[in-house]
Amino acid sequence: MHRTTIDGVLRLEGARYSDRRGEVEVPFADPAFREAAGRGMFAVQQTILTRSRLGAVRGVHYTATPPGTGKLVHCVAGQVLDIAVDLRTDSSTFGQWDAFEVSGDDTAALYIPVGVGHLWIALSDGATLHYLLSAPYRAELERAVHPADPDLGLPLPPEAERLVSERDANAPTLREAAAAGLLPDRAASARAERATESASR
């Protein structure tokens, strides 16, 4: 497990065991998470499995804070570019991102805390991500920043090859979201993180 360039985002290196029957994969283990993060992970409130076609772009997504939502994401099939974007307005890395190419052959998982946006790009047909969430999905609380915002400069596929939802295509830019008061700050994000961690004890 190692920290990334975005505060609070962790890349967990899981384990795989095999014998003549097949394989067992362990993308997450609480003791390793506690050692790296200094605390426990959230209590899982919902899981989601998302399959996408080649060129699909999902994000940049986040949840209104409060309540905010923490995520643990793991690629179970195909190949994706998984990206975390710091949306905390007073963070030293606000607007910066870190990207990880992962596939169903990897054991890695990405922990994305409250206040950090998430985007992923399907690099193959049938690319599948499994999400663990700290809160149930509620459409009215979900927010997005435009994936093609030039200020972010995300490594998107050529426009003609992108598959983007109508919601994401109409999302505000980072500057517009900040000006409208839609983005969290570090204090609000930290409070939401502590609330989810307390619930897991």
pLDDT in tens, the chain (201 residues): 567 899 999 999 989 999 999 999 999 999 989 988 888 899 999 999 999 999 999 999 999 999 999 999 999 999 999 999 999 999 999 999 999 999 999 999 999 999 999 999 999 999 999 999 999 999 999 999 999 999 999 999 999 999 999 999 999 999 999 999 999 999 999 999 888 876 666
**pTM of the complete model:** 0.93
Q: What is the pLDDT of residue 198?
A: 62
CB 132 within 8 A of CB 118: no
Residue 20: CB partners within 8 Å, gap ≥ 6?
none
Q: What is the pLDDT of residue 32?
A: 86
2 an active-site residue? no
Choosing from 61, 74, 118, 146, the catalytic residue is: 61
Domain that includes residue 183, residue range = 2-199
Choosing from 74, 111, 118, 131, the catalytic residue is: 131
Sign of the dihedral defined by the CA atoms of residues 62, 44, 36, 120, in that order: negative
- What CATH number does residue 130 fall under? 2.60.120.10
131 an active-site residue? yes
Domain count, the chain: 1
* C-alpha count within 13 angstroms, C-beta hemisphere, residue 26: 10
